[in-house]
Amino acid sequence: MNAVRNHACRENAFEEAGRDAVYRAIFTRRDVRSHFRPDPIDDAVLARLLMAAHHAPSVGFMQPWNFIVIRDMERRQAVRDLFLAAREQELPNIAEERQMLYRKLKLEGICESALNLCITCDRSRSKGSPLGRWHNPEMDIYSTVCAVQNFWLAARAEGIGVGWVSIIDTEALKRALNIPDHVVPIAYLCVGHVSEFAPQPDLERSGWGARLPLSELIMSETFGGGGEDTLKDIAGKMRP
């Protein structure tokens, strides 16, 4: 029986090169804040990225996302002003000993990137269809985040950098982009060609934080449950 199952798994698996490419996109994806180049993104490439995002999983097949492409520099500068204001509001809540490092961090590429993209969630789209949302009403939000991840990984495969600007006032952004009340902006992304993809995430390289060991995050059966020692041992030895 196990032999049959293993054969079925191999039949459905990607060939080695394809499988390696998927993992490469995952492990080398970066939240890009610098290294953007000004040259434009071909519309055919952008359409492929949006198609990848549109094929994200969505609970109840609600597909709650929309994609606002922002090219106008004046509008982008206005959004950057919102970022700068939000950053000043965030600063006092950062531990005092880390505020100097925080000020040095490059946290956006709004005007340097080829274009910006706002991915939104239309919370009315699944109205009257509670499938998957009756007990978990936030699933439309989570589904849209899956679309963001699809876009991001496809962009990495195309050699396109993406940076998520999360330091921004949501209501101010909605006003700037004429987003209706029932629609929620989920991700404001800077998108463009880059001169390089950093070998490490910027925040790790700057000393802001370090990646947690996977082996310490694996639990068995219940939260905090011990066990799965073999799995933890394998995870502890893995390198991306």
User: Measured in Å, how far apart are the chain's first and last C-alpha atoms?
Assistant: 32
Give me the long-range contacts of 127-131 (CB less than 8 A, separation at least 24): 129/60, 129/62, 130/60, 131/59, 131/60
Q: How many residues does the chain have?
A: 240
Burial of 196 (0-12, 13-18, 19+ CB in 10 A): exposed
**Rounded to whole angstroms, what are the CA distances from 200 to 20, 204, 215, 235?**
19, 7, 20, 19
Distance CA 193, CA 41 (A): 7
Q: Record the pTM.
A: 0.92
In the chain the domains, ranked by start, together with CATH numbers, are 29-209 (3.40.109.10), 210-240 (no CATH)
| 240 residues of the chain, pLDDT tens digit each | 455 455 556 789 999 999 999 999 999 999 999 999 989 999 999 999 999 999 999 999 999 999 999 999 999 999 999 999 999 999 999 999 999 999 999 999 999 999 999 999 999 987 777 787 889 989 999 999 999 999 999 999 999 999 999 999 999 999 999 999 999 999 999 999 999 999 999 999 999 999 999 999 999 999 999 999 999 999 999 988
